[in-house]
């Protein structure tokens, strides 16, 4: 019985390092990968164009509002109390519409950014998964700034960036 226990312990001692060495880890800087993808530049250019269009609309609305304020100031003293109240209410309503438009535009631009970048992120993640499965990695760690990796050693981890870039057709 003691011999069987000793043999089992010895077998485990030799087997454990083999199993640990068989595990493959990789790392990638996901942020750099996304930056290297040409689709990102096009998406950001499209988003910038939309942002500029919205910004111009808001500027036009603000210019129109400022003109109305200046016109109201010129005639304010000559208006009756009722006319003053109506003019003030009109200006407040217009200012609220501009603010609501701006908030709505910010939300729509945020949604549009997500809509444009989401397929790019999905494509990169799919390429990483494909490479990980093909190469037999059990973990691929993101080493981008701000990721949750506290330490990694390039000695014990394979940089998957070249393989993923090749998979995506990026030089």
Q: Read off the pLDDT of residues 75-129 as tens digits, 9 standing for 90 and up.
A: 989 999 999 999 999 999 999 999 999 999 999 999 999 999 999 999 999 999 9
> Do 132 and 24 form a contact (C-beta atoms < 8 A)?
no
Query: Using one digit for the tens of pLDDT, what is the confidence trace for 74-89?
Result: 998 999 999 999 999 9
Alpha-helix residue ranges (DSSP H) falling in the chain? 2-22, 30-36, 38-75, 81-135, 161-168
Gap between the Cα atoms of 162 and 154, Å rounded: 14
Residues facing 159 on adjacent strands: 27
On whether residue 1 sits in a domain, the answer given is: no
Q: Which residues contact 144 (CB under 8 A, 6 or more apart)?
A: 29, 30, 31, 32
**Residue 42 CB neighbour total at 10 angstroms:** 12
Say how many domains are in the chain: 1
Over range 31-50, report the average pLDDT: 96
Is residue 152 domain-resident?
yes
Return the CATH number at 157: 3.30.910
């Amino acid at each position: 019985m003691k011999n069987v226990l000793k043999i089992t312990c010895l077998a485990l001692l030799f087997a454990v390092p083999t199993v640990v060495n068989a595990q493959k880890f990789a790392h990638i800087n996901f942020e750099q990968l996304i930056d290297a993808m040409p689709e990102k530049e096009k998406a950001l250019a499209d988003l910038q164009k939309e942002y500029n269009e919205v910004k111009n609309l808001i500027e036009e609305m603000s210019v129109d509002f400022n003109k109305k304020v200046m016109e109201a100031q010129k005639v304010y003293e000559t208006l009756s109390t009722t006319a003053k109240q109506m003019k003030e209410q009109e200006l407040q309503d217009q200012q609220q519409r501009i603010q609501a438009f701006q908030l709505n535009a910010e939300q729509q631009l945020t949604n549009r950014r997500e809509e444009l970048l989401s397929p790019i992120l999905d494509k990169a993640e799919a390429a990483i998964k494909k490479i990980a499965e093909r190469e037999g990695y059990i973990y691929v760690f993101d080493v981008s700034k701000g990721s949750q990796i506290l330490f990694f050693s390039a000695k014990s981890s394979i940089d998957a960036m070249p393989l993923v870039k090749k998979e995506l057709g990026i030089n």
